[in-house]
Amino acid sequence: MSKHTTRTGDPAKKTIEAVLDEFLQEQRQRLKPSTTRKYEDIIELFGSFLDGYAHQSLSKRDNALLDRFYEAEGEDHWEFCQLFGPDKIPGNVSEFLNYFMIRKVMCGKELKQAAATVTKKLGKWLQAKGYITPKAAAEMVDTGAVAAKELPAAEELAWMLADYADRSTIDYDEVVEDYFSIQAVEPGMLHLSGLSTDEKINTPVPQAISDACRKGWSFSGAVAKTDKGWRILEVWNVYP
């Protein structure tokens, strides 16, 4: 984290940057070095996410504040985490885990699960320190708990779907690249909907894959229309 938290005139009395530094300092005192490095990696990723994406959830007034400092140069340039307080953390956790860690971070299921675990720990710690409300902490912990189970499962499903698509040899007339939502799951069959097409996409898959799928999950990839119906052509990411 940067030196800006010690500067005067910061709109938040205790910034996100300062709070995350404090959290890591306490974890270093109780965790093994290998675990501490994971915590440091996750917190660094979370800080980068907040600086790059959390402005989307700001009010008009807070956005104006961020613009004023962000557009400044040199020592007067401040990022999101250097301006706002920890109350802005809980509302951004879900997007961090379920979007940023999947789509923007090239990592396996171990780091994704670690991100969910650290998020839970951070939520409990923030409440214990009085930085966020018990309700906000509970929501943050619940989000982390769900992600700890679903992110590794989604990563495994992505590998299964990609391997299945790679091993399939098909002739096709039409290809649709899109984000596909899993509307329903039957043994050996997925019922999908896409963002860019109104067609109902029903595609067969091995039962091991349908068993691993969950209604409401989605994936990015491509499906092909063949003379036998739709088939999965490529899969890039799965989103729980």
Tell me the helices (H) and strands (E) count for the chain, helix number first: 8, 5
Q: Which of 136, 159, 182 is the last residue of a domain?
A: 159
Are 126 and 40 in the same domain? Answer: yes
Q: Which of 130, 159, 188 is the last residue of a domain?
A: 159
Q: Work out how many domains the chain is built from and give that number.
A: 2
Are 153 and 215 in the same domain? Answer: no
CB half-sphere exposure, 175, CA atoms < 13 A: 9
Q: Where are the beta strands (DSSP E) in 169-216?
A: 174-186, 189-194, 201-204
Are 21 and 101 in the same domain? Answer: yes
- Find the distance separating the first CA and the last CA of the chain, reported in whole Å: 31
The whole-angstrom separation of Cα 77 and Cα 69 is 5
At residue 12, the pLDDT reads 79
When pLDDT is cut at 50, 70 and 90, the band that residue 25 belongs to is very high
Please say whether the beta carbons of 184 and 199 come within 8 A: no
For 199-233, the pLDDT digits (tens) are 889 999 999 999 999 999 999 999 999 999 999 99
The whole-angstrom separation of Cα 202 and Cα 184 is 9
For 163-196, the pLDDT digits (tens) are 999 998 888 888 999 999 999 999 999 999 999 8
Q: Could you tell me which residue, 196 or 26, shows the higher pLDDT?
A: 26
- Show the domain range for 202: 168-239
At residue 128, the pLDDT reads 97
Are 153 and 177 in the same domain? Answer: no
Strand order in the sheet with 189-194: 201-204, 189-194, 174-186, 218-226, 229-239
Are 52 and 135 in the same domain? Answer: yes
When pLDDT is cut at 50, 70 and 90, the band that residue 1 belongs to is very low
DSSP letter (8 states) at residue 172: -
What would the two tokens of residue 127 be?
A: 């409440």
Give me the chain's average pLDDT, please: 90
Q: Could you tell me which residue, 105 or 10, shows the higher pLDDT?
A: 105
- The yes-or-no verdict on residue 2 having pLDDT over 50 is no
At residue 162, the pLDDT reads 94
Are 145 and 235 in the same domain? Answer: no
Instruction: Report percent pLDDT > 70 for the chain.
Output: 96
Are 126 and 198 in the same domain? Answer: no
At residue 49, the pLDDT reads 96
Residue from 186, 202, 204 nearest 194 by CA: 202
At residue 187, the pLDDT reads 97
